[in-house]
Amino acid sequence: MPPKTPAKFTVDQKLIRQLADVLHETGLGEIEYADGDKRIRIARPAPSAAPAVSLAMPSPSAVSAAAAPSDGVREVPTGAITSPMVGTVYLAPAPGAAPFVKAGDRVNEGQTVLIIEAMKVMNPIKSPRAGVATRILVENGAPVEYGEPLMVIE
């Protein structure tokens, strides 16, 4: 069977510029936009460098590879809640407020344990299970990547 050739993929330069503007406005390191099986990812390798553009047609193997950490070293602890998106993590509902959860606290399934701000939207992250928060793996206000471990619930 001959190898599959990817379908034509036209580049929407206006969309790329809009995504680059969002990167600049939010200070994020990268942003990805998907429409069906077509994806556009724009990333800033360094603050002084111009945004890099990567266009890809995902294959099933690319999707599973994308779920793995890029450095290949990061190990996700058992019971960890991982980040569902790229953004900034907040451990409390407001500056100066008590954190949602501290190490040693008992949490319920569905309880908000932290917030991730992405593209100026506050996204509550809820515990997928009941248990005890044994470790908080991120600092308040820190940037987080997709799949990064945030806290451990045992």
Domain residue ranges of the chain, discontinuous segments joined by +: 13-67, 80-153
Which class is 80-153 in CATH? mainly beta
The pLDDT of 37-44, averaged and rounded, is 76
pLDDT at 25: 73
For the stretch 151-154, contacts whose Cβ atoms lie closer than 8 Å and that sit 24 or more positions apart, written own/partner, are 151/80, 151/81, 151/101, 151/113, 151/114, 152/77, 152/78, 152/79, 152/80, 152/81, 153/79, 153/80, 153/81, 153/107, 153/113, 153/127, 153/128, 153/129, 154/78, 154/79
pLDDT at 139: 93
Q: What is the pLDDT of residues 48-81, one digit of tens each?
A: 444 444 444 444 444 444 444 445 456 778 889 9
pLDDT at 59: 43
Q: What is the pLDDT of residues 116-144, one digit of tens each?
A: 999 888 999 999 999 999 999 999 999 99
The pLDDT of 75-90, averaged and rounded, is 89
